[in-house]
């Protein structure tokens, strides 16, 4: 019987991994056989460990590749009959046409149960010597990448809507372009709108996208504001899409939208002249005039009364003096030359304490003026 060299190599690798190294086994659960360029597919790997689930950890090693892009979509672990099984979903998107071999590697870490128990009990920390690391080569997945000239790929819909179709001149119309679905929506190229006689104000696209098995899913919304003086039409929007549900390329197209623009407001029509022949109108205007005059009279009256409002007197430092000696000392310590004449009169006895305080009040009032 003829033996297969590839089978022998696989058996040797499994034997070495099981006997001489860590005890685990990688396999491909599911994978797409063919994809279009730009179309995403999920490769599901599983790794089964023969020992305690707490002793092992597996991590895919992602690397840049000119033929495809890859990212981890999800990672799950479960225990079946005492064995830990790691499930890893890899999202793969071809970049070019041809046969693509996806060769992934993973880093397996093994921590002995004794080191884990010591850490749990707080005896010591796990050292690097306690951890064993090994690089595992995962089974090769072969995918045929087919040509794709569509702008987007996946389950995608296109819609264009406006808030109103009848406006006055210079009144804005808000246009929304909505792209929904799943696929490679992150590659959407914003639309550029140009309509003769219409001023266009555009906003950057708003993207609400989350990862999915098709790449991403969600919604992209692009907003425009259109202002014009005359009626105009919004041309149809088109988007080339490769529909993965029907496995066919198609062109998504919106309907043309006609905007009816009527004449704007005339300045002469904004305010109607008052009818002075109407008695009710005359009474209303007389009341308005009386209220204005009353307001002016009240303002003038308050202004006059305000001058005679009582003012709170500020207590000065010299008012605390109980005799002439204390007053002379306070005035001398202030250093104000205006008080020198009063100090001299107090020392010679020409004025008393009360007269001196009155003179000081006069000096202070002159300063405020």
Give the pairing of strands 215-228 and 198-202: antiparallel
| Per-residue pLDDT, 316 | 74
* 80 DSSP β-pair partners: 83
What CATH class has 152-262?
mainly beta
The predicted-structure confidence for 112-171, as pLDDT tens digits, reads as follows: 655 444 444 444 555 555 678 889 999 999 999 999 999 999 999 999 999 999 999 999
Q: Give the Cα separation of 157 and 135 in Å (integer).
A: 44
Phi first, then psi: give them for residue 154, nearest 5 degrees: 140, -155
287 vs 2, higher pLDDT: 287
Helix (H) or strand (E) holding 215: strand 215-228
| Per-residue pLDDT, 172 | 94
Q: Which two tokens stand for residue 175?
A: 């246009």
How far apart, in Å, are the Cα atoms of 284 and each of 64, 200, 232, 275? 82, 46, 46, 11
The predicted-structure confidence for 182-238, as pLDDT tens digits, reads as follows: 999 999 999 999 999 999 999 999 999 999 999 999 999 999 999 999 999 999 999
Longest dimension (CA), the chain: 145
Task: Report percent pLDDT > 70 for the chain.
Answer: 80
* 90 DSSP β-pair partners: 43, 72
* 155 DSSP β-pair partners: 182
Q: What is the DSSP annotation of 137-154?
A: EPPPEEEEEEP---SEEE
The predicted-structure confidence for 10-56, as pLDDT tens digits, reads as follows: 444 443 444 344 688 999 999 999 999 999 999 999 998 876 556 77
* Domain spans, the chain: 21-146, 152-262, 278-307, 317-368
Domain spanning 21-146: which superfamily? Answer: Immunoglobulins (2.60.40.10)
Q: What is the DSSP letter of 205?
A: P
How far apart, in Å, are the Cα atoms of 312 and each of 189, 289, 315? 75, 39, 9
Domains 21-146 and 152-262 share a fold: yes
How far apart, in Å, are the Cα atoms of 109 and each of 81, 132, 194? 21, 6, 59
């Amino acid at each position: 019987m003829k033996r297969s060299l590839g089978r022998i190599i696989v058996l040797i690798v499994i034997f070495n991994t099981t006997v001489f190294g860590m005890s685990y086994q990688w396999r491909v659960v599911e994978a797409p056989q063919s994809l279009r360029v730009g179309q995403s597919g999920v490769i599901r790997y599983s790794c089964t460990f023969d020992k305690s689930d707490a002793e092992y950890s597996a991590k895919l090693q992602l690397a840049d590749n000119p033929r495809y892009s890859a990212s981890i979509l999800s990672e799950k672990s479960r225990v079946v009959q005492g064995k830990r099984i790691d499930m890893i979903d890899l999202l793969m998107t071809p970049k070019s046409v041809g046969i693509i071999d996806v060769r992934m590697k993973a880093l397996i870490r093994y921590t002995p149960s004794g080191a884990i128990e010591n850490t749990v009990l707080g005896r010591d920390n796990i050292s690097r010597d306690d951890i064993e690391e090994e690089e595992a080569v995962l089974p090769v997945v072969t995918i045929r990448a087919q040509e794709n000239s569509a702008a987007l790929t996946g389950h995608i819909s296109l819609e264009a809507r406006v808030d109103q179709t009848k406006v006055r001149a210079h009144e804005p119309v808000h246009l929304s372009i909505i792209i929904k679905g799943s696929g490679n929506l992150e590659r959407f190229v914003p639309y550029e709108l140009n309509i003769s006689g219409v001023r266009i104000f555009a906003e950057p696209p708003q993207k609400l996208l989350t990862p999915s098995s098709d790449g991403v899913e969600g919604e992209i919304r692009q907003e425009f504001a259109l202002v014009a003086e005359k009626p105009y039409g919004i041309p149809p929007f088109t988007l080339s899409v490769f529909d993965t549900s029907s496995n066919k390329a198609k062109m998504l197209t919106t309907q043309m939208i006609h905007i009816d623009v009527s004449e704007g407001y005339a300045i002469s029509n904004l305010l109607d002249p008052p009818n002075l022949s109407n008695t009710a109108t005359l009474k209303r205007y007389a009341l308005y005039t009386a209220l204005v005059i009353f307001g002016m009279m009240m303002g003038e009256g308050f202004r006059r009364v305000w001058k005679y409002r009582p003012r709170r007197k500020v207590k000065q430092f010299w008012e605390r003096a109980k005799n002439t000696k204390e007053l002379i000392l306070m005035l001398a310590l202030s250093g104000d030359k205006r008080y020198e004449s009063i100090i001299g009169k107090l020392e010679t006895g020409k004025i008393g304490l009360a007269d001196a305080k009155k003179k000081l009040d006069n000096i202070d009032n002159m300063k405020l003026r």
